[in-house]
């Protein structure tokens, strides 16, 4: 007996691509430097349009507040953004 098929609305190729054998995950560290303390909503790490993490306080560095977060990417070319204000510096490693 064949299991029922599920209509995925065009996502079949994307799902197949995500689970092929040659895919590897990539870890990225996001650092946010700010001259003032940031609220949690200002420290979101966003990957491909989804908030995946909130950067945690990592102390101070040369007078700036330092926040850091690690995210796991399914694709190395995934877009990584933050919700940090424009006056903050962001580094992705």
What is the span of the domain harbouring residue 85?
A: 23-92
Q: What local confidence, expressed as pLDDT, does residue 11 receive?
A: 47
Is pLDDT at 57 greater than 80 in this prediction?
Answer: yes
Assigned domain for 84 exists: yes
Assigned domain for 62 exists: yes
The count of domains in the chain is: 1
Assigned domain for 78 exists: yes
Assigned domain for 11 exists: no
| β-pair partners for 57 | 67
Assigned domain for 59 exists: yes
Assigned domain for 16 exists: no
pTM metric for this prediction: 0.72
Is pLDDT at 4 greater than 60 in this prediction?
Answer: no
């Amino acid at each position: 007996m064949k299991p029922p098929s599920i209509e995925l609305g065009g996502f079949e190729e994307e799902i197949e691509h995500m689970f092929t054998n040659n895919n590897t995950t990539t870890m990225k560290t996001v650092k946010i430097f700010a001259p003032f303390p940031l609220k949690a909503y200002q420290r979101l790490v966003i990957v491909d349009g989804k908030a995946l993490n909130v950067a945690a306080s990592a102390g101070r560095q040369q007078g700036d507040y330092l926040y850091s977060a690690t995210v796991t990417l399914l694709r190395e070319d995934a877009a990584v953004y933050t919700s940090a204000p424009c006056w903050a510096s962001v580094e992705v490693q």
